[in-house]
Amino acid sequence: MSLQIAAALILVLFYSVYIIKMITQKVKGIQTDQIARGKSGSRFFIIELIMKVATYSVIVVEIISITINSSALPWELRFVGLILGVTGDIIFILAVWTMRDSWRAGIAESDETAIVTEGIYKISRNPAFLGFDLVYIGVMIMFFNWILFIFSVFAIVMLHLQILQEEKYLISAFGDEYSAYRKKVGRYIGR
């Protein structure tokens, strides 16, 4: 299988899971995409809006890079990128599955959700973000070019800033329960 097909499948699987989750939650009356919605003037709005632009932009650059199919990296490194991308898909799927109906994209200040600490959340407080990062890094390595590098790093940085915002919200929403969880489980990986 060519790297182009593999990378396309990684992206299709990743974003299909995202879209299917949004649709199934919408049927239940849950608004999944909370990114920069109804928050103008709030402390979360700017970070979420820039993150949304960054994550949508990187998809376009990834697709163009996959289509062009050129990379400055040797095949062995490109294969490492493939492994990282597939790993990102698996981690993201496990995160979405484990969160069930508590999963949101963005901070849902008005929604009632539960803190999830089971499954993959026993080893990562932010496995969905870790999945995003691994997919971005994987595709970037598979089809390395400087434009893709810049867009991928920018998206990863914005996702990290989003995590920092979400942690502030989770502390205020779940208090000691979240603080205790934070002490036991790493932001991205580790106990």
Name the nearest CA neighbour of 121 among 20, 189, 172: 189
pLDDT mean across residues, the chain: 86
What residue segments make up the domains of the chain, in order of their start?
A: 3-184
Helix, coil or strand: residue 105: strand
Strand partners, 105: 33
Element (H or E) spanning 148, and its range? Answer: helix 146-184
Compute the residue count for the chain.
191
CA-nearest of 178, 22, 32, 191 to 114 is: 178
pTM of the model: 0.88
Give 153-170 pLDDT, tens digit per residue: 999 999 998 888 888 888
The yes/no answer on whether domain 3-184 falls in CATH 1.20.120.1630 is yes
Structure tokens at 24: 């199934």
Helices (H), 35-103: 45-68, 75-99
> For the segment 11-51, what is each residue's pLDDT rounded down to a tens digit?
999 999 988 887 887 787 766 565 656 656 666 678 888 88
Whole-angstrom distance, CA of residue 37 vs CA of residue 40: 8
